[in-house]
Amino acid sequence: MKWLHNLLKGLSLTTALFIFQACYGTPEGLEHISMSFKVMAADTGEPMEGVKVSARVKGYNGPDWTPGTLTGPDGEANVYYYRWDDEVLPPAFRFEPADDTYRVKDTVITDISPRLIEIKLVKAE
């Protein structure tokens, strides 16, 4: 049920941005970016399903993380976010496992080229 709530929350943000763009066009300097991740367990190398992947860009999203998306059975997820062309700080990403078996990981990605980025989560102690 929680996944449905997160899905609807993510869709409502996407819908609001789509309506804004349809009515007013894309604001000058606003860039839509998609990042692809594959989340795996560091100890086994197995893909991790149900990990919430969120993005935060300083200046546009403020202190809050995007609603995020969940990894599928293959451990993969695509995260979409917006940033201004003049943003100098790279985006931060958060990887939150569905349970407490693995640690939450926050990381900054400096290379936002379109490619699959592998992320390994370590077990909680």
In this predicted model, what pLDDT tens digit does every residue of 23-78 receive, in sequence order?
Answer: 555 556 666 778 899 999 999 999 999 999 998 876 544 557 778 899 999 999 99
> With a threshold of 0.85, does the pTM exceed it?
no
8: pLDDT strictly greater than 60: no
Indicate whether 14 belongs to any domain. Answer: no
Per DSSP (E only), the strands in the chain are: 30-41, 52-56, 69-70, 76-84, 92-96, 105-108, 116-121
- Which CATH number goes with the domain that contains 107? 2.60.40.3330
Residue-number span of the structural domain to which 117 is assigned:
28-121
96 in any annotated domain = yes
Domain contains 54: yes
Per-chain mean pLDDT for the chain: 78
Query: How many domains is the chain built from?
Result: 1
The DSSP H or E segment spanning 15 is helix 2-24
